[in-house]
């Protein structure tokens, strides 16, 4: 349990129907095993102590007493274990018998949650034996423990405030307003455990999976679903032990059906709490109070099995990448086309450099013209070579523009920049910030003036990663009339441009592939002796692969630098060493905070993903904010 990560488990023990002694031994065995795997929570199926399919035997006091004895045995044998276990057992209280989930920890029962919604159709006839726990809220004594019996209670960890457990049982999830809604909204439960005995039939697996995903997304929670296995009676039904662990709309892990074992997943309760605070959609209702049980659990280093994607902005499934690319390109193009209509223009101006960003902006511009049914000649692609321009990039800029049928022109700004140096008294052999930024601002002036001349819009080319790092010249390439790449990170830019090669003719694809193989550079410093690019962006600011990873988890989920560093060490093991990752995460946070003033006055641009730095609706931060606390924490790592 570190950085909000908690290892959780779904366990389906081998069950012998009505053999409480055997079943308790299997439950204990799996609790011990889950503890050895550093799990802090393990959830078992519905009525696993007796078996779900006991039928009228549930009405036998003998079976109910033997179930209680089995619970005592479980408590005794798990007394020394540092794990929360949730088990299913029938509990009799007076004239009623309840289908319950017992929450146990270190030999004690923390509470019991009765099932509310009892099925009474087809093979499920629970109302024949059990009473609904809907209105039950009382203290009872069972298995030598005194505790609350109620469906309106949660279990909160004192050492990790974001770890709050709520419980519903099987069909409770099926009703329009399930108990978990109340537990999450009014009880603050970030983890919902469902003890189920779901039978299997053709097509039910996918339905079950989608239901659990939906509930975890709807409630911004982790949803742990444990179901009965083949050991249950097969008189009329088969049980598949289909266990699932989901988090915020995503299945983290699921069991192989028909296998009675333990399924694990690391959930992130810190992330879930952040998601709720950010969305601010949960409205607390003081009329429906939820009792909060607290417990103390020893925090320990979780043996994480969870993996973090090296490219979090890019879909993990290859089949999704094409669809995602098409969606993003379409959103960019529609945004630009709509702006053109609003501005009452059919002309676009774009600075083409032969680099990735301007290539993507050119592609989007062409698609926008196609949406409006406008000739590609209305796209004015301008190359503006200067001191650092290489033959390769200049040639690719021209070839690409012509391949798409754009109107290409070249404006050499060398003479104008030298005149500017003379005007301000700058030594043109001094390759400092002034030397670099003067070129960028001259290019922007050229583009703006051409746009005025043609009644056109200047299309911005800068991407999200550059905005995060402030890697743009203020009022230079920082400025445009519509910034189509503003919410597209550099790693995604490469995928989008690569995707375009599958849509165009061989000649155009060849040019794009050469652009993809060209080092990322602003080309503001003179080329090397052999005419190659001398200024490599990633040598200066760091690998965009790392920066996009830092950016995603910092902005999207609000993670601390320490947590992001921990995740990066695990994710990029073998690619970057600890020193390198620390060096670039320091650079990221320093530049992210100090360069906010550039983002405070960004031009408009379409949001195409879950992360955007627009100051108007996505990421609001004052330009004078201090990075001290974040940088000091990184220095301590």
Residue 126 — pLDDT band, cuts 50, 70, 90?
A: confident
**Rounded mean pLDDT of 463-490?**
96
pTM of the model: 0.89
DSSP 618: T
CA–CA separation, 499 and 360 (whole Å)? 11
| Predicted pLDDT of residue 319 | 60
Q: Are 105 and 297 in contact (CB under 8 A)?
A: yes
The pLDDT, as a whole number, for residue 201 is 83
Instruction: Output the pLDDT for position 586.
Output: 97
378 and 341 share one domain: yes
pLDDT tens string 523-570: 778 887 777 777 788 888 999 999 999 999 999 999 999 999 999 999
Q: Who wins on pLDDT, 604 or 287?
A: 604
Give the pLDDT of residue 318. Answer: 61
My answer on whether 494 and 626 are in the same domain is yes
CATH label of the domain that carries residue 106: 3.60.110.10
In a domain? residue 230? yes
pLDDT tens digits along 14-31: 999 999 999 999 999 999
Given a cut of 90, is residue 413 above it in pLDDT? yes
Q: How confident is the model at residue 525, as a pLDDT?
A: 83
At 236, is the pLDDT very low, low, confident or very high (cuts 50, 70, 90)? confident
- Looking at the fold, whether 402 and 271 belong to one and the same domain comes out as no
342 part of a folded domain: yes
Pair of tokens at residue 90: 């029938």
pLDDT band at 235 (very low <50, low <70, confident <90, very high): confident
Let me know whether 247 and 326 are in one domain: no
What per-residue confidence (pLDDT) applies to 366?
Answer: 98
Q: Is the pLDDT of residue 316 over 80?
A: no
User: 627 in a domain, yes or no?
Assistant: yes
Mean pLDDT of 190-195: 98
Q: What is the pLDDT of residue 287?
A: 66
Q: Answer yes or no: do 333 and 277 share one domain.
A: no
Whether 279 and 338 map to the same domain: the answer is: no
**Domain co-membership, 111 together with 195:** yes
pLDDT at 317: 66
Predicted local confidence at residue 233, as pLDDT: 81
Regarding predicted confidence, which is higher, 422 or 203? 422
* Total count of domains within the chain: 2
Share of residues in the chain with pLDDT > 70 (%): 98
Written in H, E and C, the secondary structure of 64-125 is HHHHHHHHHHHHHHCCCCCCEEEEEEEEEECCEEEEEEEEEECCEEEEEEECCCCCEECCEE
Domain that includes residue 155, residue range: 5-295
The reply to whether 519 and 440 lie within a common domain is yes
Q: Are residues 197 and 340 in the same domain?
A: no
Residue 427 has pLDDT above 70, yes or no: yes
Q: What are phi and psi of 282, to 5 degrees?
A: -80, 125
User: At which residue do the structure tokens 């060096």 appear?
Assistant: 583
pLDDT surpassing 90 at residue 134? yes
Whether residues 228 and 357 share a domain: the answer is no
DSSP string for 176-245: SS-HHHHHHHTT--SEEEEEE--B--TTHHHHHHHHHHHHHHHTTSEEEEEE--TTS--SS--B----EE
Which CATH number is 493's domain given?
3.40.50.620
Give me the pLDDT at residue 124, please.
67
* Within-domain flag for 300: no
- The verdict on 455 and 490 lying in the same domain is yes
Number of C-beta neighbours around residue 325 at 10 A: 21
Kindly tell me if the per-residue pLDDT of 286 is higher than 70. Answer: no
Is 386 inside any structural domain? yes
- Any domain includes 309: no
**CA distance linking residue 637 with residue 626, whole number of Å:** 20
Co-location of 276 and 422 in the same domain: no
- Choose between 590 and 239: higher pLDDT: 590
CA gap 560, 45 in Å, rounded: 36
* 1: pLDDT strictly greater than 70: no
pLDDT at site 347:
98
pLDDT of residue 88: 98
Rounded average pLDDT over 77-105? 97
Q: Give pLDDT, residue 341.
A: 98
Place of tokens 């794009």: 512
For 113-124, the pLDDT digits (tens) are 999 999 876 666
Q: Does any domain span residue 592? A: yes
Residue 179 covered by a domain = yes
CA pseudo-torsion sign 27, 33, 34, 38? positive
Question: What is the pLDDT, as a whole number, of residue 119?
Answer: 85
Copy the structure tokens of residue 602.
């960004």
Greater confidence, 279 or 413?
Answer: 413
Q: What is the predicted pLDDT for the residue at 545?
A: 96
What would the two tokens of residue 150 be?
A: 């109620």
């Amino acid at each position: 349990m570190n950085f909000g990560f908690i290892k959780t488990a779904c366990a389906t023990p081998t069950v012998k129907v009505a053999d409480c002694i055997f079943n308790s031994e299997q439950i204990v065995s799996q609790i011990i095993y889950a503890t050895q795997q550093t799990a802090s929570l393990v959830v078992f199926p519905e009525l696993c102590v007796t078996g779900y399919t006991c039928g009228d035997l549930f009405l036998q006091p003998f079976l109910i007493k033997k179930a209680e004895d089995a619970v005592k045995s479980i408590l005794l044998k798990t007394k020394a274990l540092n794990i929360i276990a949730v088990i299913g057992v029938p509990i009799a209280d007076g004239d009623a018998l309840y289908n319950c989930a017992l929450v146990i920890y270190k030999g004690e029962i923390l509470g019991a949650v009765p099932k509310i919604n009892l099925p009474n159709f087809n093979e499920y006839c629970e109302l024949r034996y059990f009473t609904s726990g809907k209105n039950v809220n009382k203290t009872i004594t069972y298995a030598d423990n005194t505790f609350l019996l109620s469906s309106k209670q949660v279990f909160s960890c004192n050492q990790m405030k974001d770890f709050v457990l709520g419980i519903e049982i099987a069909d409770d999830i099926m009703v329009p307003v399930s108990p978990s809604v109340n537990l999450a909204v009014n009880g603050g439960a970030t983890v919902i455990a469902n003890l189920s005995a779901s039978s299997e039939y053709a097509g039910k697996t996918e339905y079950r999976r989608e239901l659990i995903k939906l509930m975890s997304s709807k409630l911004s929670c982790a949803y742990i679903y444990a179901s009965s296995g083949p050991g249950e009676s097969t008189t009329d039904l088969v049980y598949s032990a289909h266990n699932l662990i989901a988090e915020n709309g995503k299945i983290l892990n699921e069991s192989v059906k028909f296998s009675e074992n333990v399924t694990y997943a690391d959930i992130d309760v810190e992330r879930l709490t952040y998601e709720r605070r950010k969305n601010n959609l949960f409205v607390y209702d003081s009329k429906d109070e939820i009792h909060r049980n607290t417990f103390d659990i020893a925090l320990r280093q979780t043996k994480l099995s969870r993996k973090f994607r090296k490219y979090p902005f890019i879909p993990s499934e290859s089949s999704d990448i094409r669809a995602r690319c098409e969606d993003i390109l379409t959103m960019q193009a529609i945004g630009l086309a709509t702006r053109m209509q609003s501005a009452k223009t059919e002309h676009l101006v774009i600075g083409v450099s032969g680099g990735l960003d301007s290539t993507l902006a050119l592609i989007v511009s062409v698609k926008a013209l196609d949406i409006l049914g406008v000739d590609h000649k209305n796209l004015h692609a301008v190359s503006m070579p200067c001191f650092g321009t290489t033959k390769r990039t200049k040639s690719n800029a021209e070839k690409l523009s012509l391949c798409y049928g754009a109107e290409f022109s070249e404006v050499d700004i060398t003479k104008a920049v030298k005149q500017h140096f003379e005007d301000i008294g700058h030594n043109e052999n001094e390759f400092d910030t002034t030397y670099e930024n003067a070129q960028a601002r001259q290019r922007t002036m050229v583009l703006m003036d051409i746009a005025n001349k043609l009644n056109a819009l200047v299309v911005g080319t800068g991407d999200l990663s550059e905005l995060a790092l402030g890697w743009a010249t203020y009022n230079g390439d920082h400025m445009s009339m519509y910034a189509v790449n503003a919410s597209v990170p550099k790693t995604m830019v490469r995928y989008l441009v690569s995707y375009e090669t599958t849509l165009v003719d061989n000649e155009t694809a060849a040019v794009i592939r050469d652009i993809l193989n060209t080092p990322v550079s602003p080309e503001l410093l003179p080329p090397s002796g052999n005419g190659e690019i001398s200024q490599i962006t990633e040598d200066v600011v760091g690998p965009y692969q790392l920066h996009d990873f830092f950016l995603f988890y910092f902005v999207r989920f609000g993670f601390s630098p320490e947590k992001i560093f921990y995740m990066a060490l695990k994710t990029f093991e073998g690619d970057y060493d600890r020193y390198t990752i620390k060096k670039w995460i320091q650079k990221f946070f320093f530049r992210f905070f100090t360069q906010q003033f550039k983002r405070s006055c960004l031009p408009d641009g379409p949001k195409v993903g879950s992360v955007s730095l627009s100051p108007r609706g996505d990421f609001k931060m004052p330009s004078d904010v201090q990075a001290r606390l974040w940088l000091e924490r990184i220095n301590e790592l």
